[in-house]
Amino acid sequence: MHLRALSADDDLPLSILLDSTFDGPQMYRFARALRGEGAVAMERIACEGGRVLGYVCFARMIVPADWWALSILAISPSHHKRGMGRDLVAQGLDDARRERAKAVVVIGDPAYFGRLGFSTLAASRLETPIAARFTALYPIAPGTGMSSQRLIYPLAYSRFDERLVT
């Protein structure tokens, strides 16, 4: 498996991966909306034999401005349970630290993301407009875990569908 930055040539394979992983075009549209508003902090794909098998997208939060959101994680169903998701998230968290993000928030399965270092307890005092029960935090800077913050996501999140998380 090879992890690399997204290129313009990846658009069609990425749309196929996201459409098949999430049973429709909503997540691909979400990724395009994040790009369109300039909110993307980092995107990576996982390739093997020239095929796009995984994708991760991190966005910059509006508030707190120095936080990121793990916005999309997609792994081809044929490659689940091989560590690809873990590797993509780890790459993103490394990038977040290098870019001096103070924390990363995710809306997703608490059990899965808990294994990757995200904590629902650390996020328990966050005021979030969407999916509070699925929100977890990966604190990077001291004092971000258990902090009381009001989260404002990029505009693309206004069309977020909580059913995609469950």
Ordered by start, the domain boundaries in the chain are: 2-164
pLDDT tens track for 56-95: 999 999 999 999 999 999 999 888 888 899 999 999 999 9
Q: Is the pTM of this model over 0.85?
A: yes
Q: How confident is the model at residue 115 (pLDDT cuts 50, 70, 90)?
A: very high
Asked if pLDDT for residue 166 goes beyond 50, the answer is no
The per-residue pLDDT for 49 is 87
The per-residue pLDDT for 162 is 61
**In the chain, % of residues over pLDDT 90:** 86
The CATH code of domain 2-164 reads 3.40.630.30
CB 13 within 8 Å of CB 53: no
CB 75 within 8 Å of CB 54: yes
Q: Whole-angstrom Cα distance, residue 166 to residue 71?
A: 15
